[in-house]
Amino acid sequence: MVNETYERYRFSKLIQDRDVHFDIYLAEICHLADSCHFEGVEELMLRNRIIIEAATHHKLVQVHNLTLKQAIDICNASDDASWQLEVMSTPDEVLLLQSVKSPHCGGGCSASD
């Protein structure tokens, strides 16, 4: 038997740590929401929880009439962009340009041009 009051308390206290990918956070709050028995308002409760506690909440409050799907899409896009920016700023991820003819310029240009 599930203690609904306790499960709702846990749901309301779960936050997304900045080091945790949004998908992991989403899976955990969805799991908690299942045991909260939010019949009829589960999507609204999930959306509100994401807006309040997700690492990207500042972007979410800017969207008028935000849906749960929009909130999830924005959070996933933000996580992806953060990861890409981190990779791009890592010095070890430098690609060396070689002096070879490029098939994109009809073979008439090279990296040294």
Confidence at 47, pLDDT banded by 50, 70, 90: very high
Q: Does 76 map to a domain?
A: yes
Q: Does 23 map to a domain?
A: yes
In this prediction the pTM is 0.69
The 10s digit of each residue's pLDDT in 19-46 is 888 899 999 999 999 999 999 999 999 9
Q: Name the 3-class secondary structure at 101.
A: strand
Q: Does 60 map to a domain?
A: yes
Residue numbers of the domain that contains 29: 4-93
Q: Does 78 map to a domain?
A: yes
- Split into its structural domains, the chain has a count of 1
Calpha distance 45→112 (Å, rounded):
57
Confidence at 85, pLDDT banded by 50, 70, 90: confident
Q: Does 56 map to a domain?
A: yes
Q: Does 101 map to a domain?
A: no
